[in-house]
A and B are shown apart, each in its own frame.
Chain A
Amino acid sequence: MSWIDIGNIEDIPVRGARVLKTRMGCVAVFRTSEAEVFAVDDTCPHKQGPLSEGIVHGKAVTCPLHNWVFSLETGMAQGADEGSIATYPTMVENGRILISADALQSRVAAE
């Protein structure tokens, strides 16, 4: 598996997100209070709300438009809502955030 270095974990606020621009649209990169990093599609399947602008709690994010909640681990909508977002493997090494190039690649292929 090959990894792409996209930045330092300190570049993302705790319980916040930044976006990663790709040719197929934005990926939201989240940092939780436990210093875990998750990358998921930035777009809510409901009405395309920008998930990177949502409130991060535990390992979940709430869409800012209509409060759909998604697990950052599985991408599944929580509670009564149905739907999911794609997730991309990430890892943090020496403070650097690495994202799976293969997963991003297959995202391009899938769309």
Chain B
Amino acid sequence: MPKQNLVIIGAGMASGRALEELLALAPDAYNVTLFNAEPRGNYNRIMLSPVLSGEKTYEDIVTHTAEWYEENGVTCRFGEKIASVDRARKVVISETGEEVPYDKLMFGTGSNPFIIPLPGHDLEGVIAYRDLEDTNTMIALGEKPGAKAVVIGGGLLGLEAAAGLALRGVDVTVVHIMGHLMERQLDEAAGYLLRKALVDKGIKVMCSANSKEILGENGRVKALLLDDGTELPCDLLVMAVGIRPNIALAKEAGLMVGRGIHVDDQMITSDEDILAVGECVEHDGAIFGLVAPLYDQAKVLARTLVGEEAKFVQKELSTKLKVTGCDLFSAGDFAEGEGREDIVLRDPARGVYRRLVIEKGKIVGAVMYGDTADSNWFFGLIKDGEDITEMRETLIFGPAYQGGEPLDPMAAVAALPDDAEICGCNGISKGDIVAAIKAGAHDLGAVRATTKASASCGTCTGLVEQVLGVTLGDDFVIPAAQGMCGCTDLSHEDVRRMIKSQELKSQQAVWQACGWKTVNGCHVCRPAVNYYLLADWPLEYQDDPQSRFVNERNHANIQKDGTYSVVPRMWGGITTPDELRAIADAADKYNVPTVKVTGGQRIDLLGVKKEDLPAMWYDLNQAGLVSGHAYSKGLRTVKTCVGKDHCRFGTQDSTGLGIKLEKLLWGSWTPHKVKLGVSGCPRNCAEATCKDVGIICVDSGFEVSVAGAAGMDVKETELLAKVATEEEAIALTTAFIQIYRENAKYLDRGYKWVAKVGLDWVKAQIVEDLKTRAALVERFEISQSIYRKDPWAEQATPDYREKKWNPIADLTLEAAE
């Protein structure tokens, strides 16, 4: 049978998924031609928020690459718009007048953002939040110092736009016409908590606010005027008030349309050779904006195209907000009504709010804020219409309290039906994952690769692992690495997020808020938590020596025989005869058996007895030497070459720059040790290109590169940026160290961390975004006002010696005999 021609209009998420399903079912059934008005293929539109906030790049969210289309024999006509459809002749006609015949035609035209026709809505700088162009416009705004934005619309989209803009350093005001945020998904109380969380993030929120006019100047937006006379100045106005199905072409072609293109259960329009899928359709009176039903439709449509029976059924939907630190969940119907009862749980101290709406012994709606861990379970009860009368008393506390015994999480996953959605970003159901596992995907990576589940935002990773566990039984061990340690199941990243978003400022607060399973942690988590707290709250948190590894507590490296090594700082590798004499004297006086030059251009005095440390430090301090922090997860050395003063190839004052950097950065604690190198020319005598930060001075300026290593792994640095002045090189270095301090997992070296977040993200933050760079430098300085100090000087005092370094008692001469 000759191949039929399938023409697809629109390369969005729904049409992309339909195409995938079709190719999986019958790769050779059709010649496919894909038209798209946007000059690109399919990307994951719901991941635009992480792109805006900087957690992802555009490349991360592309779902189908050019190669993918080519491999699958799809003819792509990107950037070409279809002008009309001639149903009688079964051809589509492009804007250039070209005609392409079809046997089957598929509409995936999606929707258009709704622009309120306020006066001034056509000014430059008024945008919707819909596609990559809009996202890029918002990202660009973040680079403008002091930029202001107004977002009209306090729904899902508007808040994600506002949160992303705020993260980019933009001063944002959200203007919402209703009395509380996300009124379609949340009740007032949850809306209040959400508002509070956003305000804490520096976003201004105005509810019950009526926009009257957009004011402009020279054709560009200048401010939003509210009907009470308030004027909100802005450089950008984002209108995120909703979307409307894009039906113009279908309507013009004479298809039956209402709010969307009418389709039946098989996704067929009023013309039996024309199908439609996604946001452009209207099915049984409903239109669609969330991803799950779109993917269901895509599946049905593909089956219809190959002549298989399938039927699209609308299901209950749930919503989550992709804003870091705002955990909220909403599903079902929570309006008050006759015969409806509420169960409400409030825990203001934890910022937790849960509300269940019960009708005739069943949950019909659920709103959760602050703690959404049980949301899947509640959602399951809603979807299945389960009778909850028996567990009503403890229902609000979640599955762990049912039946008196904590529920085995595996049992909960085992009980999920096959169509339960596991990965919201990619619309992957439990059944899809189980099928992939049975086909051989036996670990998380393989499941990600074959189904895309957990490959986008990653919040469902735990669930996917549980599905693996349930399906494979004993053959699968859920990786223990994901929790910090045995004291908590939370990952390092989760704990850092909690510390920031909930403003946890003490170890006790972390243990409490994160549900630590031990009284006061262990040797794995305590140093990490101590670090996170002092990095995030340098002014408020009091460093805890008892949560530090012995080296840091004693400010010297412990050796295998229990002695210590002492390394004084030599700024940028420069020393003086006086300093050398003091070091030699100390070596004599304290019987140092080994004196060694380290790899970082310093002198190591090895084999010092613990009780001698404070006295030795005192002597070294007297000669002007301070602790080299050779023992710390902090700034170690700045290695230099001799630079232009002596070297015939040297450019710039590379040694001077090394000294400046070391004096600026010393004493700062970091997730792991940090080493720098500054070379005066590309001959690179300071070996700068295998350091955490390496600077190569050249005639025209400074090449700043990062993420190198010469330890367990050997890795060359990658270029961050080339800058003209020493000031910029210093600011970039400081900003890089601070962004690493604020984001990396404890004990991840810089190169490991950069590999996780991507160098592009780092560049976007500190090379392109001058405002963010300046803010990072400022926060580093604030921290340094506390931590740029010499621990030797502090501990060499008599009082300290008595309390810390001497034995509590000496019984060698008495008693025990």
Q: Which residues of A contact B (CB under 8 A)?
A: 4, 6-7, 11-16, 18-24, 26, 29, 33-34, 47-50, 53-58, 60, 62, 64-65, 67, 69, 97, 101, 104-105, 107-108
In the complex the two chains form, is B811's CB within 8 Å of A57's CB?
no
**Residue tally, chain B, CB below 8 Å to A:** 31
In the complex the two chains form, is A6's CB within 8 Å of B809's CB?
yes
In the complex the two chains form, is B811's CB within 8 Å of A12's CB?
no
Least Cβ distance of B614 to chain A in Å? 15
Q: Which residues of B contact A69 (CB under 8 A)?
A: 522-523
Q: A11-B803, A57-B523, A58-B520 are in contact. Are A21 and B550 (CB under 8 A)?
A: no
Q: Which residues of A contact B526 (CB under 8 A)?
A: 55, 57
Q: Which of B514-550 contact A (CB under 8 A)?
A: 518-523, 526-527, 545-550
In the complex the two chains form, is B523's CB within 8 Å of A67's CB?
yes
In the complex the two chains form, is A15's CB within 8 Å of B520's CB?
yes
Closest A residue to B806 by beta carbon equals A18
Q: Which residues of B contact A22 (CB under 8 A)?
A: 811-812, 816
Q: A13-B545, A57-B521, A64-B549 are in contact. Are A104 and B811 (CB under 8 A)?
A: yes
The 4 closest A-B pairs by CB, nearest first: A62-B523, A18-B808, A64-B550, A6-B809
What is the CA–CA distance of A108 and B520 in the complex, to the nearest angstrom?
A: 34
What is the CA–CA distance of A30 and B816 in the complex, to the nearest angstrom?
A: 20
**In the complex, which of the residues B519, B560, B562, B816 has the most CB atoms of chain A within 10 Å of its own CB atom?**
B816
A55's partner among B522, B562, B807 (CB-CB below 8 A) is B522
Q: Which residues of B contact A108 (CB under 8 A)?
A: 816
6 additional contacts (CB under 8 A) given A6-B809, A21-B809, A21-B810: A7-B808, A15-B520, A18-B807, A20-B809, A107-B816, A108-B816
B238 interfacial contact with A, CB 8 Å: no
Q: Which residues of B contact A18 (CB under 8 A)?
A: 807-808
In the complex the two chains form, is A7's CB within 8 Å of B809's CB?
yes
In the complex the two chains form, is A58's CB within 8 Å of B550's CB?
no
In the complex the two chains form, is B562's CB within 8 Å of A48's CB?
yes
Q: A15-B546, A33-B519 are in contact. Are A20 and B807 (CB under 8 A)?
A: yes
What is the CA–CA distance of A12 and B709 in the complex, to the nearest angstrom?
A: 40
Q: Which residues of B contact A13 (CB under 8 A)?
A: 545-546
Q: Which residues of A contact B549 (CB under 8 A)?
A: 55, 64
Show 24 A/B contacts (Cβ-Cβ < 8 Å), sorted by A: A4-B811, A4-B816, A6-B811, A14-B546, A16-B545, A19-B807, A19-B808, A20-B808, A21-B812, A47-B560, A49-B562, A53-B550, A54-B523, A55-B526, A55-B527, A55-B547, A55-B548, A64-B549, A64-B550, A64-B558, A65-B558, A69-B523, A101-B816, A107-B816
B480 interfacial contact with A, CB 8 Å: no
In the complex the two chains form, is B558's CB within 8 Å of A58's CB?
no
In the complex the two chains form, is B811's CB within 8 Å of A21's CB?
yes
Q: Which residues of A contact B553 (CB under 8 A)?
A: 53
Q: Which of B537-579 contact A (CB under 8 A)?
A: 545-550, 553-554, 558, 560-562
What is the CA–CA distance of A60 and B518 in the complex, to the nearest angstrom?
A: 11
Main secondary structure, interface of A, reads mixed
In the complex the two chains form, is A54's CB within 8 Å of B546's CB?
no
What is the CA–CA distance of A18 and B812 in the complex, to the nearest angstrom?
A: 16
What is the CA–CA distance of A16 and B547 in the complex, to the nearest angstrom?
A: 9
Closest A residue to B522 by beta carbon equals A57
What is the CA–CA distance of A25 and B773 in the complex, to the nearest angstrom?
A: 54
Least Cβ distance of B533 to chain A in Å? 15
Least Cβ distance of A88 to chain B in Å? 11
What is the CA–CA distance of A40 and B569 in the complex, to the nearest angstrom?
A: 37
Q: A4-B815, A15-B520 are in contact. Are A56 and B807 (CB under 8 A)?
A: no
Least Cβ distance of B669 to chain A in Å? 17
What is the CA–CA distance of A53 and B548 in the complex, to the nearest angstrom?
A: 10
Q: Which residues of A contact B545 (CB under 8 A)?
A: 13, 16
**In the complex, which of the residues A7, A56, A107 has the most CB atoms of chain B within 10 Å of its own CB atom?**
A56
Q: Which residues of B contact A (CB under 8 A)?
A: 518-523, 526-527, 545-550, 553-554, 558, 560-562, 610, 803, 807-812, 815-817
What is the CA–CA distance of A34 and B811 in the complex, to the nearest angstrom?
A: 27
Q: Which residues of A contact B550 (CB under 8 A)?
A: 50, 53-54, 64
In the complex the two chains form, is A57's CB within 8 Å of B518's CB?
yes
What is the CA–CA distance of A48 and B610 in the complex, to the nearest angstrom?
A: 15
What is the CA–CA distance of A56 and B549 in the complex, to the nearest angstrom?
A: 11
In the complex the two chains form, is A101's CB within 8 Å of B815's CB?
yes
Q: Which residues of A contact B817 (CB under 8 A)?
A: 23
Q: Which residues of A contact B522 (CB under 8 A)?
A: 55, 57-58, 60, 62, 69
Closest B residue to A18 by beta carbon equals B808
Q: A55-B523, A64-B550 are in contact. Are A23 and B811 (CB under 8 A)?
A: yes
Closest A residue to B816 by beta carbon equals A104
In the complex the two chains form, is B546's CB within 8 Å of A23's CB?
no
Q: Which residues of B contact A57 (CB under 8 A)?
A: 518-523, 526
Q: Which residues of B contact A14 (CB under 8 A)?
A: 546
Q: Which residues of A contact B527 (CB under 8 A)?
A: 55
What is the CA–CA distance of A18 and B562 in the complex, to the nearest angstrom?
A: 15
Least Cβ distance of B243 to chain A in Å? 53
In the complex the two chains form, is A23's CB within 8 Å of B816's CB?
yes
What is the CA–CA distance of A29 and B548 in the complex, to the nearest angstrom?
A: 18
In the complex the two chains form, is B808's CB within 8 Å of A53's CB?
no
Least Cβ distance of A13 to chain B in Å? 6
Q: Which residues of A contact B561 (CB under 8 A)?
A: 48
What is the CA–CA distance of A4 and B554 in the complex, to the nearest angstrom?
A: 29
In the complex the two chains form, is A21's CB within 8 Å of B803's CB?
no
Q: Which residues of A contact B809 (CB under 8 A)?
A: 6-7, 20-21
What is the CA–CA distance of A50 and B560 in the complex, to the nearest angstrom?
A: 10
Least Cβ distance of A6 to chain B in Å? 4
Least Cβ distance of B710 to chain A in Å? 25
Closest A residue to B813 by beta carbon equals A23
Q: Which residues of B contact A58 (CB under 8 A)?
A: 518-520, 522
What is the CA–CA distance of A23 and B554 in the complex, to the nearest angstrom?
A: 25
What is the CA–CA distance of A20 and B806 in the complex, to the nearest angstrom?
A: 9
What is the CA–CA distance of A7 and B810 in the complex, to the nearest angstrom?
A: 10
In the complex the two chains form, is B816's CB within 8 Å of A65's CB?
no
Q: Which residues of B contact A12 (CB under 8 A)?
A: 808
In the complex the two chains form, is A11's CB within 8 Å of B808's CB?
yes
What is the CA–CA distance of A65 and B559 in the complex, to the nearest angstrom?
A: 9
Least Cβ distance of A30 to chain B in Å? 11
What is the CA–CA distance of A58 and B519 in the complex, to the nearest angstrom?
A: 6
What is the CA–CA distance of A48 and B550 in the complex, to the nearest angstrom?
A: 15
What is the CA–CA distance of A47 and B559 in the complex, to the nearest angstrom?
A: 11
What is the CA–CA distance of A65 and B159 in the complex, to the nearest angstrom?
A: 50
What is the CA–CA distance of A1 and B560 in the complex, to the nearest angstrom?
A: 38
